[in-house]
Structure 1
Amino acid sequence: MSTGTNRFMDEFARLMTDAAGAAQGMRKEVEQAFHAQAERWLNGLDVVRREEFDVVREMAVKALEENEALKARIETLEARLNSPATPTEG
């Protein structure tokens, strides 16, 4: 009787293993289909990818820093022009 039980348990274990493998495969297929559909939907919204956003953000930060440096230079030059130590014409 124990051989029949062992055989039944072996068959049951194999069936469960096959079912788990099939479920894993289905999960991957559903996940891939979802990602493909989400990408199509996002492309329709005309949104940018994270990498593109990061590049533009870095460009904006650099431009802001350059603007701040130029502003400081202008203020220094204006201070020199307006200081009484500079000779005036006349």
Structure 2
Amino acid sequence: MQTDNRLFDDFVKFMNGAAGTVAGMAREAEGATRERAREWIGGLDFVSRDEFEVVKAMAVAARDENDALKGRLATLEAQLSAQASPAPIAPQAAS
């Protein structure tokens, strides 16, 4: 047996409308919060992952080049010290 209760129908319609309104407000609040977070984080000095990886690769390359230059410098210094050291003087015979 089903009854026609207009008050109950109106209450259900009101609650459905209120639930839709609350859900819409929640979506708007979430969107506004995300936007504020993006603005706040965007103002900080963060770098992207790609930028970080590029700088990291450049640092590794610079370190490798530095090591290679240190090796070349050590070789050149060894050659220079070998050239600069006086050769042993042979004793001269008395005549």
Deviations 1:48-68 (A, max 9, x none): 112111111111111111011
Partner of 2:52: 53
Question: Is residue 73 of structure 2 the alignment partner of residue 70 of structure 1?
Answer: no
Question: Highest CA radius of gyration, 1 or 2?
Answer: 2
Change (3 A) 1:46 1:58: same
How many aligned residue pairs are there? Answer: 74
Higher relative contact order (CA 8 A, sep 6+): 1
Deviations 1:22-79 (A, max 9, x none): x7xx67x83x655443322121112211211111111111111101101111101111
Change (3 A) 1:59 1:76: same
SS of the residue 1:45 aligns to: coil
What percent of counterpart residues are identical? 48
Change (3 A) 1:77 1:57: same
Structure 1 spans left out of the alignment, 5+ residues: 1-18
Partner of 1:82: 81
Change (3 A) 1:33 1:68: farther
CA-based RMSD: 3.8
State TM-score, norm by structure 1.
Answer: 0.53
Letter in 2 for 1:65: D
